[in-house]
């Protein structure tokens, strides 16, 4: 029995050690320069169609949202204290500076935020902001702050990445899409930078789906996995098109599953507006140099 257990353990360790990081790159079937040029043109089309010039002008925005992690897997994988959490997010465009007020659950009334990659908290019972910087140690709450900030501004952010490739057109559910790949350092998978494939609706010129890797996921059991998000229910807010519903599935589930009802988790916006607070509110920690979108 002992030998069987040891054999099983070694087999599991062998599988784990053989797991490679996720690689979603494909072949563009075009010369590199032409592929790069077409990809940039498609991204520029999205930026114009979605109205990112409004975000550039308004700069700060806020929204109420819910993140729902269903089932037993949601209980294990959730990044917030509760499986369903309501927030008030406040963001500064094209930065990683922002905050979230938790409106319910175990941390109701607590404020969490990020300023120049320094994580901070203020509990509902405290007056002062507490610097909770953990250095390079992974912090799920910090990750949550960053990921939804980044995903809402994704086409604009990715346009400024150095590596862009056009992967041609695909059809899904009767709609034609332009596929654009984006990464940094190399088109092939590398351990330091994520890869993205945007599915751009050829009619609306908006992103309906995105397949992406998560290099911050350093678990040996899941680092070979990746994720996908669907952008649904776009609404015009002062000229900017805001996706109010975003189901997230594992791997490329958003373009493989017939239904998105059985999501891994789902992020839903209830209210979205520009301004309503002073930009300085997002900078409570003194004497930190602004990093803008630098990592």
For 159-170, give one letter per residue: b (16+ CB within 10 A) or e: bebebbbbbbee
The mean predicted confidence, pLDDT, of the chain is 90
Does residue 243 form part of some domain? yes
Check which CATH number belongs to the domain holding 77 and give it: 2.50.20.10
- CB contact at 8 A, 118 and 131: yes
Mean pLDDT of 233-242: 98
Q: What is the pLDDT of residue 192?
A: 84
Does residue 94 form part of some domain? yes
pLDDT digits (tens, 9 = 90+) for 136-176: 788 999 999 999 999 999 999 999 999 999 999 999 999 99
Structural domain tally of the chain? 1
Mean pLDDT of 187-198: 90
Does residue 183 form part of some domain? yes
**Residue 249's domain spans which residues?**
33-282
Does residue 25 form part of some domain? no
Does residue 295 form part of some domain? no
Mean pLDDT of 66-80: 93
Does residue 22 form part of some domain? no
With CA atoms as reference, report the closest residue to 119 among 292, 289, 284: 284
Does residue 148 form part of some domain? yes
Q: What angle do CA 87, 88, 89 make, to 5 degrees?
A: 105
Say how far apart CA 54 and CA 58 lie, in whole Å.
Answer: 6
Question: Can you give the pTM of this predicted structure?
Answer: 0.90
**Beta-carbon count within 10 A of 143 CB:** 16
pLDDT digits (tens, 9 = 90+) for 104-115: 999 999 999 999
Percent of the chain past pLDDT 90, that is, above it, reads: 73
Does residue 158 form part of some domain? yes
């Amino acid at each position: 029995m002992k030998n069987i257990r040891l054999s099983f353990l070694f087999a599991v360790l062998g599988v784990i050690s053989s797991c490679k990081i996720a690689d979603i790159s494909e072949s563009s079937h075009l010369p590199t320069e032409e592929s790069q040029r077409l990809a940039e043109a498609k991204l520029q089309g999205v930026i114009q169609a979605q109205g990112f010039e409004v975000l550039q002008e308004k700069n700060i925005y806020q929204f109420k949202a819910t993140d729902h992690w269903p089932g037993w897997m949601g209980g294990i994988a959730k990044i917030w204290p509760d499986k369903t959490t309501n927030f008030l997010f406040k963001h500064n465009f094209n930065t990683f500076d922002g905050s979230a007020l938790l409106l319910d659950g175990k941390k109701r009334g607590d404020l969490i935020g990020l300023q120049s990659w320094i994580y901070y908290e203020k509990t509902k019972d405290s007056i002062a902001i507490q610097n909770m910087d953990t250095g390079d140690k992974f912090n799920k709450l910090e990750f949550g702050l960053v990921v939804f900030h980044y995903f809402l501004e994704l086409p604009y952010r990715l346009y400024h990445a150095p590596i862009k490739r056009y992967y041609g057109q695909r059809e899904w559910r009767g709609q034609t899409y332009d596929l654009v790949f984006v990464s940094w350092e190399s088109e092939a998978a590398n351990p330091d930078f994520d890869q993205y494939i945007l599915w751009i609706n050829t009619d609306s010129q908006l992103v309906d789906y995105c397949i992406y890797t998560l290099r911050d996921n350093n678990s040996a059991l899941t680092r070979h996995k990746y994720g996908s998000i669907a952008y649904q229910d776009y609404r015009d807010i002062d000229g900017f098109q805001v996706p109010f519903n975003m189901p997230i599935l594992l791997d490329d589930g958003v373009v493989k599953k017939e239904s998105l009802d059985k999501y891994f988790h789902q992020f839903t916006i209830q209210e979205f507006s520009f301004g309503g607070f002073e930009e300085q509110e997002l900078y409570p920690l003194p004497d930190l140099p602004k990093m803008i979108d630098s990592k």
